[in-house]
């Protein structure tokens, strides 16, 4: 999940607080432990503005007609995107590093759903050229080095297959950190830690932000051709009460950046 500029308590019940910002790659203990707040995060994710009416609809629109396509949902969490793709006729496999999130995914999807514990950046348990598409929804920005993860995703994609990506928008992250009184270097790749509070539970999340050119360089270095860069509006059916007044008319804000990449 991401954050809306100047809106530290976004609709959906997750509040965020910047804890630290640095170029240091050392993570404190207990960082990115989605097992510890999986239920609360999943409940918020179901119907909030950022995920349910902005990010997932945008990913599905970019995916288009997926009937009969074999798709890897990389970082599937509790399975909302997996379920939507499957409902559209795709044959979906999901991976996530959080075992608890995958338990919730099986509860949603059924015990026969193909979901597995696996971590981006490590070798994936699939043969070469397995999938027609890969979705990587709000997951790459947890990684300092995108190279190993992208190389594995390229390996498991069929030639010409698509990688559909959403990540935190680097302009939005830079703006948020400046509004917090800091002076981050937009052109640097740097780490920051947020404290998230959702459903009465608190967790520390570590993210890496990088400039747009570093993202596109990583994609092309891994053998992908960039065909779409998107900054979409919220879904047409977004309830008016979920939209802050300052974006209600134009229904757009800086939050995530979306890409469609083709395996060369």
Domain residue limits, the chain: 28-168+216-263
Among 68, 74, 108, which residue's Cα sits nearest to residue 94? 74
* Residue 28 pLDDT: 64
Which of the four pLDDT bands, split at 50, 70 and 90, describes residue 13? low
Q: Which helix (H) or strand (E) holds 101?
A: helix 99-109
Question: How far is residue 82 from each of residues 14, 64, 88, 115, 243, measured CA to CA in Å?
Answer: 22, 14, 10, 10, 26
* Residue 9 pLDDT: 43
Interval 171-227: pLDDT, tens: 999 999 999 999 999 999 999 999 999 888 899 999 999 999 999 999 999 999 999
Indicate the average pLDDT of the chain: 92
- CB-based contact 102:39 (threshold 8 Å): no
The domain 28-168+216-263: what is its CATH number? 3.40.50.150
Q: What is the pTM of this model?
A: 0.93
**Token pair 């890496």 is at which residue?**
208
Q: Which two tokens mark 11? A: 């609709």
Task: Report the pLDDT averaged over residues 120-142.
Answer: 97
**12 or 42: which leads in pLDDT:** 42
How large a percentage of the chain has pLDDT more than 90? 85
CB neighbours of 210 closer than 8 A, spacing ≥ 6? 170, 188, 189
Which of the four pLDDT bands, split at 50, 70 and 90, describes residue 53? very high
The residues that bridge with 135 in the sheet, in sequence order, are 73, 164
Hey, which bits of the chain come out as E strands?
Answer: 15-22, 70-74, 91-96, 114-117, 131-137, 157-168, 190-198, 201-209, 224-230, 256-263
């Amino acid at each position: 999940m991401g954050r809306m500029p100047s809106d530290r308590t976004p609709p959906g019940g997750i509040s965020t607080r910047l804890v630290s910002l640095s170029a240091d790659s050392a993570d404190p203990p207990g960082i990115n432990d989605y097992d510890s707040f999986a239920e609360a995060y999943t409940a918020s994710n179901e119907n909030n503005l950022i995920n349910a009416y902005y990010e997932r609809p945008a990913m599905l629109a970019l995916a288009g007609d997926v009937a009969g396509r074999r798709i890897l949902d990389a970082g599937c969490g509790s399975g909302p995107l997996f379920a939507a793709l499957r409902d559209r006729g795709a044959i979906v496999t999901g991976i996530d590093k959080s075992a608890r999130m995958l338990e919730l995914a099986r509860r949603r999807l059924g015990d026969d759903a193909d979901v597995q514990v696996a971590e981006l950046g490590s070798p994936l348990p699939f043969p070469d050229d397995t999938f027609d598409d890969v979705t990587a929804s709000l997951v790459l920005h947890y990684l300092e080095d995108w190279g190993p993860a992208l190389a594995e995703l390229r390996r498991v994609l069929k030639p010409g297959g698509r990688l559909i990506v959403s990540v935190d928008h680097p302009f939005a992250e830079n703006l948020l950190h400046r509004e917090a009184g800091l002076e981050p270097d937009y052109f640097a790749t740097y780490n920051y830690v947020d404290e998230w509070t959702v459903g009465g539970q608190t967790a520390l999340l570590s993210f890496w932000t990088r400039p747009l050119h570093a993202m596109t360089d990583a994609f092309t270095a891994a053998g992908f051709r960039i065909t779409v860069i998107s900054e979409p509006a919220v879904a047409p059916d977004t309830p008016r009460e979920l939209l802050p007044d300052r974006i209600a008319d134009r229904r757009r804000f800086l939050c995530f950046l979306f890409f469609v990449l083709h395996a060369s």
